[in-house]
Chain A
Amino acid sequence: EPEVTQTPSHQVTQMGQEVILRCVPISNHLYFYWYRQILGQKVEFLVSFYNNEISEKSEIFDDQFSVERPDGSNFTLKIRSTKLEDSAMYFCASSERFTGNGYEQYFGPGTRLTVT
């Protein structure tokens, strides 16, 4: 069964450094998402992406964040200058259609980002 994959599984970086988190969505899916979960807190929506542009972003997704689909398979989340509070588990997800029409979002295993 096809799965969403994410690399790396764990990323340690120093404050102020740029990080790129990578995701390979399921191949026939058209909609892509990033979520994050700070330890002990809720899973929070960051951004959704469709047709090579952002569909929606949350208040968390400020100018330090960006997303890109550089080729036909990868979907990346970039944090330009990491802060301590960016330490979290970052989940990528994909779906065939918008969830509001009954389509499931499939999640990747997550990348644990630790900012020191």
Chain B
Amino acid sequence: AQRVTQPEKLLSVFKGAPVELKCNYSYSGSPELFWYVQYSRQRLQLLLRHISRESIKGFTADLNKGETSFHLKKPFAQEEDSAMYYCALSPFGGNNRLAFGKGNQVVVIP
């Protein structure tokens, strides 16, 4: 079974401060990890995936298989980063269900 854990529910940060959202997963096989974001009154959308190894909107995330983690980081938070962030896992090359964490509400204080 796949499980994704996001420990903090609400994270408030000041504009310009660093943001780190923690994500740990449990899966016996080879996972594919994602971060999805949901801005106010908008749909869930993909922010980034580990397989792409790219930075999107200043966010990065590195898959650490030893620690089974996929933490999301941004060095300098912007007001437009205020949103709900979900970490998700899908088994690589196998079935295609996404297993989501509970999500983090990020509030960036101006």
Contact = CB atoms under 8 A, between A and B. Distances in A.
Contacts of B98: 33, 35, 43, 45, 99, 105
Contacts of B91: 100
Contacts of B42: 109
Given A100-B91, A104-B46, A109-B43, A45 B97 contact: yes
B45 interface: yes
B90 A100 contact: yes
B86 interface: yes
Nearest to A104: B46
Nearest to B42: A109
A42 B101 contact: yes
Contacts of A55: 95-96
Interface string B36-50: 100000111110010
A102 B100 contact: no
23 contacts: A33-B96, A35-B98, A42-B100, A43-B44, A43-B86, A43-B103, A45-B97, A45-B99, A56-B95, A91-B44, A98-B96, A100-B93, A100-B96, A101-B92, A102-B49, A102-B51, A102-B52, A104-B46, A105-B98, A106-B46, A107-B43, A107-B45, A109-B42
Interface of A: 3-4, 31, 33, 35, 41-45, 48, 55-56, 58, 91, 95, 98-102, 104-110
